[in-house]
């Protein structure tokens, strides 16, 4: 029995997530998703090249980091921001289910990272910014005027525009 590397296992899980999200996007029947879906096609090709043992022009860790960041950023895409609340809500629910089905604990781990950033009150890099932005959007959708939403917006603004 061949033991798979952690990176290979993660690529396989992530590609299954991407396929599920691609199906969800296809069901939206929205022309604004076409470029994203084309990008998913290219991503799947690169993942298959890695799985087949082909030489890549980049490190697999860069690919994995990009996919994880893309998962966090997906709800921030403009076509979703412009969508009616019921479409956005359904997409977010289906999206979360797709990710959790293949990557149990993904959002819990991301949540733990976010809690640490919030506790220190400062975002240090773009990866942390996008993570906090993801959690801000979730909080903001649930309670736009909440104290937590305002606190997250404040540390995001401090990172983007400098401390006041």
Please write the tens of the pLDDT for every residue from 101-127.
Answer: 999 988 888 889 999 999 999 999 887
Express each pLDDT in 51-86 by its tens digit. 888 988 888 888 887 888 888 878 777 778 788 888
Q: What's the pLDDT score for residue 3? A: 57
Q: What's the pLDDT score for residue 68? A: 83
Residues 33-62: what's their mean pLDDT? 87
From the CB of residue 134, how many other CB atoms can be counted at a distance below 10 Å?
21
Residue 18: half-sphere exposure toward Cβ, Cα within 13 Å: 26
Contact between 98 and 17 under an 8 Å Cβ cutoff? The reply is yes
- pLDDT confidence bin for 1, thresholds 50/70/90: very low
- pLDDT confidence bin for 16, thresholds 50/70/90: very high
Q: What's the pLDDT score for residue 4? A: 66
Q: Name the pTM for this structure.
A: 0.68
pLDDT above 90: residue 155 = yes
Task: Please report, for the chain, the start and end positions of each structural domain, with discontinuous segments joined by +.
Answer: 1-79, 105-164
């Amino acid at each position: 029995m061949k033991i798979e590397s952690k990176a290979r296992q993660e690529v396989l899980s992530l590609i299954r997530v991407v396929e599920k999200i691609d199906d969800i996007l296809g069901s939206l029947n929205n022309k604004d998703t076409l470029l994203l879906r084309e990008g998913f096609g290219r991503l799947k090709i690169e993942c298959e090249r890695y799985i087949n043992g082909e030489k890549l022009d980049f490190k697999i860790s860069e690919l994995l980091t990009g996919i994880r960041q893309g998962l966090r950023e997906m709800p921030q895409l403009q076509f979703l921001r412009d969508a009616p609340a019921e479409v956005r809500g359904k997409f977010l629910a289906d999206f979360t289910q797709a990710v959790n089905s293949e990557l149990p604990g993904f959002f819990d781990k991301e949540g733990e990272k976010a809690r640490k950033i919030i506790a220190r009150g400062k975002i240090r890099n773009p990866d942390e910014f996008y993570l906090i932005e993801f959690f801000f959007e979730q909080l903001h959708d649930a309670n736009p005027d909440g104290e937590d939403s305002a606190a997250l917006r404040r540390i995001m603004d401090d990172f983007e525009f400098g401390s006041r």
